[in-house]
């Protein structure tokens, strides 16, 4: 089945987005629609978590959103980030995004390959550090379990909340040949908005293991997965998939 119409379940934030180039080069229609709404928690809610943010020596970033809300917190609450602070980023794209806020130095940033388990050896090697994990309220349960099993000091800071978007404007969702998802909550948003969704001939692409697991749990058939050694990004996975369909 040819793929002509693609829906990306997140907003476009960059006019230089590779998806726009893909749309032009492959002559396919690509729409962008966020399936979730994100809102920062109030300073009062943060204070209730009783976290002294200046105590930590390493910050674990699992997403670009966690970077944004961590540095927004830094500005709003005026706590001082040590010049010696180290950062752990789950992927290279997250590490590159961190440059928006700090001067990039490899000695300060450890980059995972794809999965959370990839950064565990590094954390074990630096078990004397104090780790902060900024996250949303929908953190994958396995992550705290893994960290609790390690002999380290760590705290989770819930800095933002995610809710399902109202997708009533997508009444013709079956118009799309391919739906692209980047998080488990986007899968849940699909069925929250369309409880009778029947995949039929709709192709599904997922990014990340937790998203893939959520899609399988929802009974979806998956056509594209990323990241993989062959397709380190969703962009490359889509490009190869579309090429094979033409």
pLDDT of residue 246: 62
pLDDT of residue 66: 96
The CATH number corresponding to 39-162 among 3.40.50.150, 3.40.50.10090, 3.10.20.600, 3.20.20.220 equals: 3.40.50.10090
**Residues 220, 216: Cα–Cα separation, whole Å:** 5
Written as six digits, the tokens of 120 are: 């565990």
**Residues 222, 242: Cα–Cα separation, whole Å:** 15
Q: DSSP string covering 128-180, please?
A: TSEEEEEEETT--THHHHHHHHSSSEEEEEEEEEEEE---TT-TTGGG-SEEE
Would you tell me how many other CB atoms lie within 10 Å of the CB of residue 235?
15
Is the fold of 5-35+165-245 the same as that of 39-162?
yes
Tell me the fold of 5-35+165-245: Rossmann fold (3.40.50)
**Residues 201, 176: Cα–Cα separation, whole Å:** 10
pLDDT of residue 181: 97
Written as six digits, the tokens of 141 are: 């349960």
Backbone angles phi, psi at 203, to 5 degrees: -90, 150
What 8-state DSSP symbol labels residue 121? H
C-alpha angle 111/112/117, rounded to 5°? 150
State the SS3 of 215-232: HHHCCCCCCEEECCCCCC
**Residues 204, 195: Cα–Cα separation, whole Å:** 17
Contact 204, 178 (CB under 8 A): yes
Q: Look at residues 235, 204, 237, 233 and name the one whose alpha carbon lies nearest to residue 114.
A: 233
Bridge partners, 163 (sequence order): 37
The residue extents of the domains of the chain are 5-35+165-245, 39-162
What is the rounded radius of gyration, in angstroms, for the C-alpha atoms of the chain? Answer: 19
State the SS3 of 20-45: HHHHHHHCCEEEECCCEEEEECCHHH
pLDDT truncated to tens, each residue of the chain (246 aa)?
678 899 999 988 777 788 888 888 888 999 999 999 999 999 899 999 999 998 999 999 999 899 999 999 888 887 788 888 999 999 888 898 898 998 877 668 999 987 889 999 999 999 999 999 999 998 888 899 999 999 999 999 999 999 999 999 998 898 999 999 998 999 999 999 999 999 999 999 999 888 999 999 999 999 999 888 888 889 899 999 888 876
> What is the pTM (predicted TM-score) of this model?
0.78
Q: Look at residues 155, 153, 202, 195 and name the one whose alpha carbon lies nearest to residue 174.
A: 202
Tokens 């388990």 map to which residue?
A: 117
Would you tell me how many other CB atoms lie within 10 Å of the CB of residue 179?
24
């Amino acid at each position: 089945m040819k793929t002509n119409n693609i829906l990306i379940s997140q907003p476009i934030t960059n006019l230089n987005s590779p998806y726009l180039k893909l749309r032009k080069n492959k002559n396919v229609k690509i729409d962008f629609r966020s399936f979730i709404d994100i809102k920062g928690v109030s300073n009062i809610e943060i204070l209730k978590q009783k976290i002294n943010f200046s105590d930590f020596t390493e910050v674990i970033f699992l997403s670009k959103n966690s970077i944004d809300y961590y540095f927004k917190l830094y500005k709003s609450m005026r706590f001082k980030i040590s010049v010696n602070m180290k950062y752990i980023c789950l992927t290279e794209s997250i590490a590159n995004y961190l440059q928006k806020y700090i001067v990039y130095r490899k000695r300060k940033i450890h980059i995972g390959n794809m999965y959370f388990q990839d950064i565990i050896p590094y954390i074990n090697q630096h078990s004397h550090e104090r780790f902060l994990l900024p996250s949303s309220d929908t953190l994958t349960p396995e992550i705290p379990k893994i960290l609790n099993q390690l002999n380290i000091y760590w705290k989770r800071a819930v800095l933002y909340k995610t809710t399902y978007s109202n997708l009533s404007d997508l009444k013709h969702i079956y118009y799309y040949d391919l739906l692209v998802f980047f998080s488990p909550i986007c899968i849940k948003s699909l069925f929250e908005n369309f409880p009778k969704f029947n995949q039929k001939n709709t192709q599904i692409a997922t990014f990340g293991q937790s998203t893939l697991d959520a899609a399988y749990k929802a009974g979806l058939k998956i056509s594209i997965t990323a990241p993989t050694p062959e397709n380190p990004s969703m962009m490359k996975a889509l490009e190869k998939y579309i090429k094979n369909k033409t």
